[in-house]
Copies of this chain bind each other. A is one copy, B any other.
Amino acid sequence: MRLSRFFMPIMKESPAEAQIVSHKLMLRTGMIRQSAAGIYTWLPLGFRVLQKVSQIVREEQNRAGAIELLMPTLQQADLWRESGRYDDYGLEMLRIKDRHERDLLYGPTNEELITDVFRTFVRSYKDLPKTLYHIQWKFRDEIRPRFGVMRGREFLMKDAYSFDVDEAGARASYNRMFIAYLNTFARMGLKAVPMKADTGPIGGDMSHEFIILADTGESQVFCDSALTDMGAPGLDVDFDADLQPLVDARTALYAATEEKHDPAAFAAQVPPERQLSARGIEVGHIFYFGEKYSAPMKAMITGSDGKERPAQMGSYGVGVSRLLGAIIEAHHDELGIKWPEAVAPFDVAIVNLRPGDSKVDAACEQAYAQLRAMGRDPLYDDTSERPGAKFATMEVIGIPFVLVIGPKGLEAGLVELRERATGAKHELSLEAALNRLAPTGPQVAA
């Protein structure tokens, strides 16, 4: 993308209305704009990150065998009357009447709708296991939306739903999502710790939240620091194998959110030097709730014994739009955002120090073409802004690598490659710089 043609309204000052750093930086860099309380327009820079985060979530869901579909944003109230949640859900559910006075609602979650799809088409254990997911906008009418996309009203969520014929199958499905989540967050440069959690309005018997540790986190969490030192399982995990040992290696270590925290157990199980108490941000939440929806909604499966029983279900959420805030909370400094490469709006920038100089222009165009050809997603600053302002822009929007090309360097056969993560600057030939920028595949390195 040529910056002269892009739409990236950067603000000089941090907006006063934002309280936390991710909200400030998302507004200041022109990633989002509030269009109503808790409802945002994703400007081009923010949209690009949203797409990259969504795509990582999608790839790891697919790798774990989940099948993507797409449920609508609006749902019939009647389905929620079947499960009993229509009256329970309270004011956070946005209730709507259409022109024929029929009750609709803007889905805050999709257990009822997916159970309805499932019961329509699936009858036999032979068709199981199935995990179905979608990435769709949800609405929760928060009484006080705040912290930007961290607690918005209209938000993007990935929600998956597993269906199995028995509890053993359901646990295997739960384990697949548990492992997929660790890889998903690791690919985004996040270290997410699975913690025992309350099941809340979803209900059920077993639940884990995936929590990012960050000073600005919304809640207090407690865990064995060995958990944060443990790497993600890796993208070569065999999802057809028994994943219980991989899950057990993590759940055996103490980790709990405030609601589930047991100080006595914490003290007894965790050596003092590994007792970690920190602030956390929830980025994922998984639930096993068995027959909670399938029984009242009669989603029945015939087992190998010929008998009918309600499907065993679980659900698995990732807060996709919220993740952008969480990543920024975990990756920023006083100059601005420091995007991990995999989710950066552009993974490399070219700064032309003298537009109009034919040699500099030619070198920049060559770099731009080669970076695109090698699968990079470059932003080329071809504007006549002064160099200092160009650098500050690339720093605040957090581009991982910046290739600086100017007339003096070119005379000596050199360009400068800056790394945002470390602040390092390297002088080298354009060819060597482009070689260093050859992309690698997906990484889960911690």
Chain A residues near B (Cβ < 8 Å)? 5-7, 9, 30, 33, 35-37, 39-44, 46-47, 50, 65, 67-76, 91-92, 94, 96, 98-99, 102, 104, 106, 113, 116-117, 120-122, 130, 132, 137, 139, 141, 143, 153-154
Contact = CB atoms under 8 A, between A and B. Distances in A.
A302 B68 CA distance: 47
Given A35-B117, A41-B71, A73-B137, 14 more contacts: A5-B67, A33-B120, A36-B76, A37-B102, A39-B72, A42-B70, A44-B67, A47-B68, A47-B69, A50-B70, A74-B154, A92-B99, A96-B106, A99-B141
Across the A-B interface, the 10 shortest Cβ-Cβ residue pairs: A9-B121, A42-B70, A36-B76, A91-B99, A39-B72, A99-B141, A41-B71, A72-B154, A47-B70, A44-B69
Given A67-B7, A116-B35, A40 B91 contact: no
A126 to B, nearest CB: 10
A74 B104 CA distance: 15
A94 B9 CA distance: 32
A120 B132 CA distance: 40
Given A65-B5, A70-B50, A36 B75 contact: yes
A102 B153 CA distance: 14
A41 B70 contact: yes
Contacts of A74: 36, 39, 106, 139, 154
A46 B39 CA distance: 29
